[in-house]
Amino acid sequence: MFDNWHINSNQDLADRIQRLEDIEAIRNLKARYCAFCDNGYDADGIASLFVEDGVWEGGVHVQGKYEGREAIRSYFSKTGSRITFAVHSVLNPIIEINGNTAHASWYLFQPCTESGKAYWGSGVYQDDYVKVNGEWFFKHLKVTFNFWTPFEQGWVKEPFPIV
């Protein structure tokens, strides 16, 4: 009886440790994504975080869906010239692991400079991940903005400026 309990307990512990390691790997993946964005929107770096058929999807402000690593790279290769400064602060993650797949939601708060103007941005990421050969990648990253507003106006007066 005790031998069986010991084996089950060890397996349970191993599963729990693996889950924690997976969550930490996904946190690091998201942090690398933010760092590549904040470093001039490094297109090669960002694209490398996605599986080959991954999807990056933007909400109201960005209005785009880019399917495949090359499409993602192409989109971000132009972003750094438009957004010259950004600090992606991702907060309050809820990460759910299901074997070799996972889903997470994150809040985004982002001051930035776009086309020479200061902006505040806020949104929610809904990300799907897949583990390939022991490493986590984005399968589908979707950001939906709550506001993208000029610094002077604030999100109450002008949540989404007419461009």
**143/57 Cα distance (integer angstroms):** 6
Q: What is the pLDDT of residue 1?
A: 46
Q: Which amino acid is at 142?
A: K
Per residue in 72-129, pLDDT (tens digit) is 999 999 999 999 999 999 999 999 999 999 999 999 999 999 999 999 999 999 999 9
The vertex-145 CA angle with 44 and 49, nearest 5°, equals 20
Residue percentage of the chain with pLDDT more than 70: 91
Residue 59 exposed, middle or buried by CB count within 10 Å (0-12, 13-18, 19+): middle
Q: Which amino acid is at 32?
A: R
Per residue in 120-135, pLDDT (tens digit) is 999 999 999 999 999 9
